[in-house]
Structure 1
Amino acid sequence: MGEIIDLSQEIYSGMPVFNGLPKVHISVYATHEQWEGIPNPKTSTPSVKKLEFGEHTGTHVDALSHMGIKYVES
């Protein structure tokens, strides 16, 4: 059976990307306090983050669709 090797890198806002690819932006989309309707909260805890980046960011977030898996019987 084939072997998959994880070459993942940390993905973060402002990380280097190949020239011409979209820049990485990670931001807070909503906080728990917003969802609970707390006016003027003293704290802000992220509930949902918004991720914006291209599929080729880091290595490839869609790597399995870019490779052919060859099975060899042992």
Structure 2
Amino acid sequence: MSGPDLARPTPCSEWDVRALVNHVVGANVRFQLLLHGAPTEQVEAMPTVDHLGDDALASCIATADRAVACFHDQHVAEG
């Protein structure tokens, strides 16, 4: 996924592909924070963060892997 692809429009006129992918990646981060008991303020600040950096695909894969790992974490599962 490269720069020009990320600039493509989505059905929502307010979001391009980058904004949509950033939202999904941010949700992965929010799930991790919630599962580990992060303060509400920290979780609510996530939508304003650029989660993609220079490599959107790598960010997406990494945050998805970490979110899935949270569900396998025995401490979180028992929480």
TM-score, normalised via structure 2 length: 0.22
Kindly indicate whether structure 1 or structure 2 has the higher relative contact order, using CA contacts under 8 Å at least 6 residues apart: 1
TM-score, normalised via structure 1 length: 0.23
Please identify which structure carries the higher strand content: 1
Please identify which structure carries the higher helix content: 2
